[in-house]
Structure 1
Amino acid sequence: MVAVGGVAGLYMQLLSTGGRTWILRTKVGDKTRDIGLGGYPDVTLAMARDRAREAKDKIRQGIDPAEERKAARAALAAAQRRGLTFGDAIGKYSEAKLAGVGEQGRWVSSLDRYARPHIGDMLMQDIAVQDVLRVLNQPLEEGGTLWTNKTDTATRVRSRIEAILSWATVAGHRTGDNPARWGGNLKELLPAPSKIAKGSNHPALALADAPAWFAALRQRDGMGARALEFLTLCASRSGEIRGATWDELYGLDGDNPMWVIPASRMKAGNDHRVPLPPQAVALLKALPRFADSPLVFPSSKRDAQLSDMTLSATMRRMHEAEVEAGRKGWLDPRSGKPAVPHGLRSTFRDWAAETGADHIAAELALAHSVGSDVERAYRRSDMVERRREMMTNWAQFLIIA
């Protein structure tokens, strides 16, 4: 204990661990107390002196600072027990409003990924406009923000936060305006989605570059590279690939291998059959299978999916390697930006158009809704066998061309 002066009884305590903390040694009633004022360097000498003077003032008023602090902590803990955090509200809302609905999984996963890290621990009553903005303006690893670079996703996240906050208000967990409301609220603080959507298309790999890029990808090691390879062969979305489980795969040793993605994991909320070309089957058979994970492409934790950033980082490193070698890199021919995983679906669509593949089959391969409700009602087939031939030709283009 080293006296530092400025306030009687103020010491710096030197800990055996190497840390340093401020202590006020003073009398509270008939007892001498050591009152902690915080650690150095977070609490400076000037701050420690101010806190010591404030504590002494309270003692002269008959208040025990240590007991006051305990009471404040207890009150906060009690308030938190009585209150509902946003993270807990996600589950409660999902159970109350979305049970049995196909989109339940997408609702929860998008909020878990984008909202929970920022406001998950906040009490519903405490969430304000600035907190919603932190979610929507969060920076992305590949650059930009969620609102500017993933506008469609950000719009859905905002809408879902608004719905949960509205439910919480009616349920008595909060009062006041909804801070996630768009009109007359966030609309005044963020650019309209329609104004940025035009520039937010995912950069796609040039069709002419696809075979060379795919060859470079196959030279890379790691689960992220294999997931990206499978994504390209199937023209699928990142989330569909990362969430794939072995029990969704059928007939890998037969003539009609198939990957059936359940409706709960699909954007359109319908089961989606993906006919697997031989190259995709060979990739799957070469993968390790882990007894402690049902996932086809697990993360290093085994029980967790790969992150979307893993696939994005693989493409980014491939681009950087090209640039370091003195080449232009893997760029979108329209925007000049480095291609990203979701843009590979556009590359596939360009290939289908260039080769005269059936338009409806290509759209079905991308799991897009084609035609009006009436047309879809009469078209009962998902053209799976025609798509099998098309996906095999796509794979051959990537690997042989």
Structure 2
Amino acid sequence: MIGGNRRAIGLGPYPEISLATARDKARDAKAKVEQGVDPIEDRKAARAALAAANARTLLFSDAVDKWIIAKMTDRPEKSQRAIRSTISRYALPEIGALSVQDITVQDVTRAIQGVWSDKPDTGQKLRSYLEGILSWATVAGHRSGDNPARWNGNLKELLPAPSQVEKGKVGNFPALALADVPAWWAELSKRDSMGAMALRFAALCASRSGEVRGATWDEIDMKAGVWTIPSSRMKMDKEHRVPLSPAAVALLKMVPKMKDQPLVFPSITGRTMSDMTLSKVMRDMQEREEKAGRPGWIDPRTGRPAVPHGLRSSFRDWAAETGYDRDMAEIALAHKVGSDVERAYRRTDLLERRRAMMGAWADFLTGKDSGVVVKFPTYISASD
């Protein structure tokens, strides 16, 4: 009897539910009635809560598909493909395997920070896509709480304003003083974590963090000593070849190569390593210096601690100081060189000349050589 009404409750089918178990369930139900609880409604509430919890286990990668079907089907197919491509390239490696309920502001920041400064337009679009997906997931009952991809009062406090990025007002990344580079490298070489090895490879190749973190074994030809980065992973959307110095090849041979793992430098979860991993290595190195009472690895121009991206500036300064050709150094950094016409007629990326330069850079990093290349002018006599 519940509230003056006689009700029946099933205890489960026999023989799956034994007589002893059925008696225990009956006693539990009677105890709830005595406490003023309707065991039937209580069971319905528990099932509803379980269903709600299951609904909130929707993975972000699956939410993307559902969001595109729900909100993007009125757009041209080409536009839908572009949206999916942007999300797949930048967001899915970082948060694709997370439940939409578990995604935090830090997760969103990690997903967009790599493209936020390099490709401002793409970064802003990606943030709006993530906000739309998570908003849809909230209304659809798959998550609750504030939207971690919201800009105002949220990501605005963590990322530079789009207007600053577009106009180049963020400023140069703090770089190592050339005099400090060999000592910094020696300290870095004492660390054997995957993040430290990725940072060493980035320094040896003067590459962007994202290019290194996304590097796969099939992009690397160890025998030829060449790392070919596809256009889809390059800032300029153009394939880039990196000549690997002997030091870079030796480093790659030290990296553990795991079965069924295409990434050269995967995270501990097997996914693409976060940009924060490389930054943390440098922060830890700086903190160690400061605790020892030393200034650490400071950019002499800004007075700020050097960061991974600043290593490219250090390389550029070294190339200029040692007399290497400007265009060759700019090509090594995967920058655009010359006018559109000049680029159209240039049919070489100076790979072998850059190989010698990167070998000299590796020697400088490791402290083997600090010499300066001196170029003498070529004089042509009147008779010639």
1:128-167 correspondence to structure 2 within 5 Å? 135=105, 151=117, 156-163=122-129
Report the TM-score when normalising by structure 1. 0.63
What residue number does 1:13 align with? none
Deviations 1:53-104 (A, max 9, x none): xx97x98xxx9752662575488579879xx875424357599658987993
Is 2:70 aligned against 1:34? no
Q: Secondary structure at the match of 1:224?
A: helix
Deviations 1:364-398 (CA, angstroms, capped at 9, x unpaired): 21122333433322222222122112212211222
Establish whether residue 332 from structure 1 lines up as the match of residue 299 from structure 2. yes
2:64 alignment partner in structure 1: 90
* CA 380–222 in structure 1, closer or farther in 2 if over 3 Å, else same: same
- Partner secondary structure for residue 264 of structure 2: coil
5+ residue gaps, structure 1: 1-30, 36-54, 123-130
User: Which residue number corresponds to residue 264 of structure 1?
Assistant: 232
Shift of the alpha carbon at 1:299? 3.9
Cα contact 1:234–1:391 (8 A) shared by 2: yes
Change over 3 Å in CA distance of 1:137–1:271 after alignment to 2 = closer
Structure 2 residue aligned with 1:249 = 220
| Aligned residue in 2 for 1:202 | 173
Cα distance in 1 for partners of 2:306, 2:248 equals 22
Please identify, of 370-379 and 313-322, the stretch whose mean Cα deviation from structure 2 is larger: 370-379
CA deviations over 1:86-145 (Å, ceiling 9, x no partner): 5424357599658987993x64242236666898349xxxxxxxx9xx7489677xxxx9
Cα displacement (A) at 1:270: 2.3
Cα displacement (A) at 1:159: 1.1
2:163 maps to amino acid: S
Q: In 1, Cα distance between the equivalents of 2:81 and 2:204?
A: 32
More contact order relative to length (CA 8 Å, sep ≥ 6): 2
Provide the C-alpha distance between the structure 2 equivalents of 1:307 and 1:137, rounded to a whole number of angstroms: 10
- State how far apart, in whole Å, the 1-side matches of 2:187 and 2:54 are: 57
Superposition map of 1:180-195 within 5 A: 190=156, 192-195=161-164
Q: Give the Å deviation of 1:220.
A: 2.5
SS of the residue corresponding to residue 32 of structure 2 reads strand
Letter matched to residue 233 of structure 1: L
- After superposition, give the CA deviation of every residue in 1:240-287 in whole Å (9 maximum; x if it has no partner): 2223232222253xxx52111122322322221101112212222344
Output the CA distance in 2 between the equivalents of 1:265 and 1:146. Answer: 15
Compared CA separation, residues 168 and 321, structure 1 to 2 (3 A): closer
C-alpha contact 1:275 1:384 (8 A) present in aligned 2: yes
- Report the secondary structure of 1:34's partner residue: helix
Check whether the contact 1:118–1:135 (CA below 8 A) recurs between aligned residues.
Answer: no
- For residue 368 of structure 1, what is the aligned residue in structure 2? 335
Find the aligned partners of 1:312 and 1:194 in 2 and give their Cα distance. 24
Q: Decide which of 178, 188, 192 is 1:221's aligned counterpart.
A: 192
Question: Does the aligned pair in 2 maintain the 1:115–1:135 contact within 8 Å?
Answer: no
| Aligned residues with identical type, % of pairs | 47
Alignment root-mean-square deviation, CA:
4.6
Cα offset, 1:320, TM superposition: 1.8
2:355 maps to 388
Match of residue 202 from structure 2 = 231
**2:310 maps to which of 335, 339, 343:** 343
Query: Is the alpha carbon distance of 1:66 and 1:195 closer, same or farther for their aligned partners in structure 2, counting shifts above 3 Å?
Result: same
Task: Go from structure 1 to structure 2 and tell me whether the alpha carbon gap of 1:166 and 1:379 turns closer, same or farther (over 3 Å shift).
Answer: farther
Distance 2:177 2:196 in 1: 19
**Residue 308 in structure 1 maps to residue 275 in structure 2:** yes
Is the Cα contact below 8 Å between 2:112 and 2:123 reproduced in 1? no
Distance 1:309 1:79, change over 3 A: closer
Distance 1:115 1:294, change over 3 A: closer
Q: Distance in 2 between matches of 1:71 and 1:291?
A: 42
Counterpart amino acid of 2:364? F
1:240 aligns with 2:211: yes
